[in-house]
Amino acid sequence: MAATYPDAINDPIFELIAEASASLELESYVIGGYVRDYFLERDTAKDIDIVTIGSGIALAKKVSALLPAKPKVSVFKTYGTAMLKTGDLELEFVGARRESYSKDSRNPAVEDGSLTDDQNRRDFTINALALSLNKKNYGDLLDPFGGMKDLKNRIIRTPLDPDTTYSDDPLRMLRAIRFSTQLGFHIEEESLQAITRNASRIEIISKERIVDEINKILMAEKPSHGFALLHKTGLLPFIFPELVALQGIEEKEGQRHKDNFWHTLEVVDNIAKATDNLWLRWAALLHDIGKAPTKRFDEEIGWTFHAHEFVGSKMVYKLFKRLKMPLNEHMKFVQKMVLMSSRPIVLATDVTDSAVRRLIFDAGDHVDELMTLCEADITTKNPNKQRKYKSNFKLVRKKIEEVEERDHIRNFQPPVSGEEIMDTFGIKPSREIGIIKDAIKEAILEGEIPNEYEAARSFMLKKGKEIGLSVSASED
């Protein structure tokens, strides 16, 4: 007798789908992520996949008709799927189908099929689990590939031959690694080998799809798990050659530098503990990419990575562009974090007020994130150093708070405007105005004057005199 789990689908929405299905004399099942996550006792997905033997589109329309709100049904004719939203749920309907693939596309030719055909086309055994929504066996589990056993043993395995599965749709290689990272599952050895053999097939996958999976890996609890697998299977060079270039340790004249690839992965894991900000996690991933092209050996000082932060921030742009990621404020944020990633480190040894003011001025609203990145960057295995660096950064954070409270540098607005400078000296827009404004800003950052109007005004008068301006008659 089949195992049965009516409790998994006792939400009224499932009963309504079952009613719609029965009225159309269809056979329908819940399948995929929802079922998997129910058994894993994960927060079950808000997207629910329904497969029906027949027309998924017709079923979706019937479900909508039975719902009081009559939600809009979005139909994707080419894929034979339909989607609707109700409450915070997203229901996706598909007719059971059989797929056949050609070499150069991940979009298969499809024809109608049985439930088994449909389970065969699923990527992993744990994603092929189906629960019946039919009267005769409501809640019965249909598990033709031992998905429950794999769930229990925490294994990622393909229903059919892994080489065919990954070659047919190479996105599945990334999905395997992503699920392994999200769920802490082990990718079964044959799958791992098949991924390694098929790694170059990833080139037929769109960049957007790849980035979706990378983002999910980055948002996992321990992203390094995924990046280590990308590395091990040979997928990494197709996605992040910049990271591959960081790998390895060189020794010259007895001097070694650290392996910046594995260091980076540690930093990403560290930052994952501190923040859910995806873009800060991206910054951690990319913070050292400038180190490969800037690496030099200097007879006097050993290994150097001069200006790697600047070079790295330029590389961020190219990398985002190559991966077709939007070149928007998120990218600028990542660039800024990479560019500034060493600034607080210098500070940690010598915390002066003026250096702190400059840091706040340059980092603007992102000074907290920058500190979080720098704290995550501490990967020394020496417990004394570890403790020392951490307490230094604590000091820097405290200092930032004190200085900010006193001097309000964070959203610095010049206390004296360009207009006031022009009126005071009776001059038109000119280079002198810039000179005076800069001098005022510098004086504030250096702590020569407080960030206040009166002080800035007298400083302006003094500075104007110095460069040969005189106060205009109308001002007197």
| Binding-site ranges for ligand ATP (CB under 6 A) | 32-33, 45, 47, 49, 122-123, 127, 169, 171-172, 175
- Residue 32 CB, nearest distance to ligand ATP (Å)? 3
In the bound state with ligand ATP, the residue whose beta carbon lies nearer, of 129 and 373, is 129
Asked whether the beta carbons of 67 and 16 are under 8 A apart, the reply is: yes
Q: How many CA atoms does the CB half-sphere of 282 hold within 13 Å?
A: 22
Crossing angle between the packed helical segments 308-322 and 278-286, to the nearest 10 degrees: 120
Closer Cβ to ligand ATP, 45 or 211, answer by number: 45
**Which of Mg ion, ligand ATP, none interacts with 336 (beta carbon under 5 to 8 A by kind)?**
none
Judged by beta carbon distances under 5 to 8 A according to partner kind, the member of Mg ion, ligand ATP, none in contact with residue 201 is none
The alpha carbon dihedral of 174, 176, 177, 181 has a sign of: positive
Dihedral class, residue 316 (left if φ above 0, else alpha if ψ from -120 to 50, else beta): alpha
Nearer to Mg ion, 119 or 341 (CB): 119
Nearest distance, CB of residue 116 and ligand ATP, angstroms: 14
In the bound state, the residue with its beta carbon closest to ligand ATP is: 33
Nearest approach, Cβ of residue 356 and ligand ATP (Å): 43
- Give me the 64-103 binding string for Mg ion, x by CB under 5 A, dash otherwise: ----------------------------------------
Question: Which CB, 47 or 423, lies closer to Mg ion?
Answer: 47
**DSSP state letters, 32-94:** THHHHHHHTTS---SEEEEEESS-HHHHHHHHHHHSTT-PPPEEEGGGTEEEEEETTEEEEEE
Q: How far is the CB of 320 from ligand ATP (least distance, A)?
A: 23
Q: Say which DSSP state 4 is in.
A: B
Cβ distance to ligand ATP smaller for residue 52 or 264: 52
Which of Mg ion, ligand ATP, none does 169 bind, CB closer than 5 to 8 A by kind? ligand ATP
- What residues between 330 and 369 interact with Mg ion by CB under 5 A? none
- Chain centroid, CA 180 distance in Å: 17
Give the dihedral sign, CA 153/154/159/164. negative
- 33 vs 226 by CB, closer to Mg ion: 33
Residues 45-64 that bind Mg ion (CB under 5 A): 45, 47
For ligand ATP, give the closer residue by CB, 215 or 247.
215
Q: Which does 288 bind (CB under 5 to 8 A by kind): Mg ion, ligand ATP, none?
A: none
For position 163 contacting Mg ion by CB under 5 A, the verdict is no
- Site for Mg ion (CB under 5 A): which residue of 8, 17, 33, 118? 33
Most distant CA pair in the chain, distance: 101
Nearest to 147, CA basis, from 127, 133, 175: 127
Kind and range of the H or E element at 267?
Answer: helix 260-274
Q: State which residue, 33 or 139, has the beta carbon closest to Mg ion.
A: 33
Q: Choose among 190, 185, 143: nearest CA to 162.
A: 190
Task: Report in angstroms how near the CB of residue 287 gets to Mg ion at its nearest.
Answer: 32
Give the CA distances from residue 186 to residues 8, 165, 192, 226, 387, in Å, rounded to whole numbers and listed in that order. 25, 18, 10, 11, 34
User: Measured from the CB of residue 172, what is the shortest distance to ligand ATP in angstroms?
Assistant: 5
In what side-by-side order are the strands of the sheet with 130-132?
A: 74-76, 81-86, 89-95, 47-52, 28-31, 130-132, 141-142
Give the binding site for Mg ion (CB under 5 A): 33, 45, 47
